[in-house]
Amino acid sequence: MDFIDVVKENVMDSFQRVGVNIEIDVWTSIELLPMNCFDWSRRQYFSPCIINWLYSRLAINLPEYFIVGIGYIDAYDTGLNFVFGEAFPRLRTCVVYTKRLNPSFYGEKTDYNLYVERISKEIVHELGHLLGLGHCNNPRCVMSFSNSIYDVDAKSRFYCSNCAYSIKRKLV
């Protein structure tokens, strides 16, 4: 099973635990990002620019889908040093930035399973935002805010009972 298949299975499993079956179509196209989204002084991409660009490229052809972009890049938003991901619910679009989710970013040894788990958590988290959830106060809930990689590792890949209830009400 390759990387994308494992992440897909993890995300589907997180929703199945809520009692919701979701369909995931994977488009593995590699896109060159627009350089006007890159901040040369920070050496990071500006997340809202990436989300708007992705939406403008895909939404016309996918009007009933949520769009989840995944990129091995570093990104930020106004007032934040970095973001692991970001969602714009009104655009049905989110992006997960995987560079800081990679253990090697922190000088740690390569750990495929940890990397895949972190990416899966962030996708489930951003999909929660697309479905109308805010951040959760339960530190184990996938919807808790992650200020650092330690926060990502501390939370689970699953919604707490309150967030699960909200998701189920929205989707069923």
Q: Catalogue the active-site residues.
A: 126
Q: How far apart are CA 50 and CA 34, in angstroms?
A: 8
